[in-house]
Amino acid sequence: MTNPITIAVDAMGGDNSPDKVIEGISIHSKSSTNVMYSIFGNENLILPLIKKYDLKNNKFSLIHTEEKVDGEDTALSAAKKGKNTSLWLSIESLKNNKAHAIVSAGNTGALFLISKLNLKMIENIDRPALSALWPSKKSMNVVLDLGANIECSSKNLIDFSIMGSALFKALFENEKPNVALLNIGSEELKGNAIIKETYKLLNEKKYSLFDFKGYIEGNNIMEGDVNVIVADGFTGNIALKTAEGTSNFITSELRKALSSNFIGKLSSLINYNNLKKFKNKLDPRLYNGAILLGLDKPVIKSHGSTDSVGFANSLKVSEQIIKGKLIERIKENIN
């Protein structure tokens, strides 16, 4: 039997924590094998939940601390709280090789800053990038950067292409990623100077890790012909929020239409299986788990408002990228 994977978990971050965190761990533990959880947080709150959700004693260790980072803390004030918060201790365990990855649903700015204070950057990468998984017609997309870097150089965008492709390969071993730059048009002359320079550099050099497919427009992100979509953090974050808002609007309006009268309710019963598939395709919980790429250890950000199902999925993403040797893939290809 190989050594178990250990995931460090900040149990105190995000809405409705630690309840959703412990339930999420329990959900994930039932569908995974050879995974351990190092749980950081207030044992007075956590131990009753471990009993409630029937988390087996041989699946976790609990490191008690009464201090935590609050949602309203700035990144700097969170760091100044010291080294005994659940967030700092969980990241520190990753630094000290006591865990293979860390997951938190807490304060995004604090997670980024404390991670950068404790962990090293991968050599030859200047900036970390926040990446996430998006659904597409054919499979799944990796999109980055989603807000860590408002402005980027062409080197940054090339690094993001490599890191995003490594993430895709870690998740989907048998597929070769297609990379495209998110732009206002598909023509080679469209876009600002930086994106045009990046296009030129990616087009000239052939990478074994991925195939470069040029530009992609926002309306084609979910077509599935491109697996890794690269943008600066400003553009990527707007694209993300727009997609999330559109998804919520569609599911909300569909729910209203199917429950407003007898015909709608009858139609929903007849088409139950198809509607369930449609709902799952747009369910943000099933794509929860953003990855901060560029650091020499995996840092995963769960959405603060997600529930236990969403948190369990962020643990699943963590398990996949550890088994898929994400960091090793990035190091092999970044040069």
Q: What is the pLDDT of residues 49-81, one digit of tens each?
A: 999 999 998 999 999 999 999 989 899 999 999
pLDDT of residue 288: 77
Ranges of each domain in the chain: 1-121+294-335, 126-285
Average pLDDT, the chain: 88
Please give the average per-residue pLDDT across 109-121, as a whole number. Answer: 94
Phi-psi region of 175 (alpha: psi -120 to 50; beta: other; left: phi over 0): beta
Which CATH architecture describes the domain 1-121+294-335? 3-Layer(aba) Sandwich (3.40)
Beta bridge partners of 35: 5
Kindly report, residue by residue over 161-214, the tens digit of the pLDDT. Answer: 999 999 999 988 888 999 999 998 877 778 889 999 999 999 998 888 999 999
Cα gap 118→205, rounded to integer Å: 34
pLDDT of residue 82: 87
Are 1-121+294-335 and 126-285 in the same CATH fold?
A: yes
Query: Is residue 52 helix, strand or coil?
Result: helix
- Segment among 91-105, 119-133, 231-245 with least mean pLDDT: 231-245
CATH code for residues 126-285: 3.40.718.10
The fraction of the chain above a pLDDT of 90, given in percent, is 60
pLDDT of residue 1: 38
Report, in this order, helix, strand and coil percent for the chain, each rounded to 5: 50, 20, 35
pLDDT of residue 275: 53
pLDDT at 269 over 60: no
Residue pointed to by tokens 């700092």: 88
Residue 262's pLDDT band (boundaries 50, 70, 90)?
low
Cα gap 221→159, rounded to integer Å: 20
